[in-house]
Amino acid sequence: MNEQIKAIGRQAGFVFIEDGVYGDRWYSSKCGMDALEFEKFAELVVLECARVVKASSPNGMIGVNAIRIHFGVEP
């Protein structure tokens, strides 16, 4: 998983566990994942995307590629 996504997840209060046996997982600081934690995580992702687009060229496709590369997402 991309380090940018891990950093945003940690800012939202999640803990990322890398586990070769059961697979990588996100855990919340509480017993279960809280809707507000998910909302905060999504908000941080959107804000980070907006920041990347704003810093890139005004050409839309260049912005899309910048976001894809920033988060390490394959097309």
DSSP assigned state of 71: H
pLDDT of 10 > 80? The answer is yes
Strand (E) or helix (H) holding 33: none
Cα of first residue to Cα of last residue in the chain, in angstroms, is 15
20: Cβ contacts below 8 Å, ≥ 6 apart = none
Residue 74 token pair: 């394959």
User: What digits encode the pLDDT tens for the residues 24-75?
Assistant: 777 776 655 555 676 678 778 878 887 888 888 777 788 888 888 888 877 6
* CA separation, residue 28 to residues 12, 17, 21, 25, 68 (Å): 9, 11, 20, 10, 26
Domains in the chain: boundaries: 3-71
pTM score, two decimals? Answer: 0.58
